[in-house]
Amino acid sequence: MKLYTTGILIGCLLLLGGSLKAQSQEERIINELRTDSAARTRFVTRSTLYGIGYANVYDTYLSPQEYTGIDFRLSRESMRMTGIMKGNVSRQSFFQSNFSYTHNRVDNNNTISGLVNWNYGLHYNFQVTSNLKLLAGSMIDLNGGFIYNLRNSNNPASARAYINLDASGMAIWNFKIKRYPITLRYQVNAPVVGAMFSPHYGQSYYEIFTLGNSGGVIKMTSLHNQPSLRQMLTCDFPVLTAKMRIAYLWDVQQSRINGLRTHIYANAFMIGFVKELYLLRPKNK
């Protein structure tokens, strides 16, 4: 029995050692590609994350009460360098969707809400040290979704639709614990200017879309009437031949438009996988 246990331990150590060696070789190749100015524009990092967390939903079009409950999230992200400004600008595409089921304080009513968000942005990369980068740029931020109140008979649902131009910043830190590579990243996005669809207080969607009383339902937004913020902290680390990512997302979306106040606050923990791809040059036809 002791020999059997010892054999298992030795096998695990050999597997771990081989995995670390393979990761070291792969990391060296990846670093060479990233530092090659001709090749790094074809190096793409993609991730898929799944998460669960807490949501606080408030919409005075439906109810004067806050609703709290559970939030489910899915996100997909793609990042790569471009040839803009001597190859110092990176491109980011970030998609996320969330679905939440919430209840009011006295627990006699519930809401269902969902939101789809897509960001596309460009960031200038400042290489502070060999393993620390700071990024600054802007993003197009598209959002669409709904909030449905299960007990309302009149105006049971509220639509969410808005577009923003966000200011965006990132910090990316690569380091090692002994020989184990880890990447930490912090990102923050804040809307600066945009446009939002919102009915007036007491106005039904029947009036807007059937009777044509749509005046003033599209409003310009900025920091004064849409003070919102998205923050994400991620940690990438290898597990055998795969690279995993864990993340914490703090999402604050709020507005004060047409006599209505809304907010959706969410905290979510997410986990998933990261893929690093090298795009081959297309064949000449």
SS3 content of the chain, % helix, strand, coil (to 5): 15, 60, 25
CATH of domain 44-278: 2.40.128.100
Instruction: Look at residues 165, 186, 184, 188 and name the one whose alpha carbon lies nearest to residue 176.
Output: 184
Residue 20 has pLDDT above 80, yes or no: no
pLDDT at 211: 92
pLDDT tens per residue across span 201-219: 989 999 999 999 999 999 9
pLDDT tens per residue across span 262-280: 999 999 999 999 998 877 6
Q: Where are the beta strands (DSSP E) in 108-211?
A: 110-129, 132-149, 157-177, 180-197
What residue type is 119 in one-letter code? N
Residue 102 has pLDDT above 80, yes or no: yes
Residue 126 has pLDDT above 90, yes or no: yes
Cα dist from 122 to 33, 88, 195, whole Å:
21, 10, 21
Show me where the domains of the chain are located: 1-35, 44-278
Q: What is the pTM of this model?
A: 0.83
Q: What mean pLDDT is predicted for residues 131-135?
A: 97
Region of poorest pLDDT, from 16-30, 114-128, 203-217, 241-255: 16-30
Q: How many Cβ atoms are within 10 Å of 216's Cβ, its own excluded?
A: 12
| C-alpha to C-alpha distance for 279 and 31, rounded to whole angstroms | 15
**Residue 88: pLDDT band with limits 50, 70, 90:** very high
pLDDT at 27: 55
The helix/strand/coil state of 153 is: coil
Q: How many Cβ atoms are within 10 Å of 183's Cβ, its own excluded?
A: 17
pLDDT at 241: 85
pLDDT at 277: 83
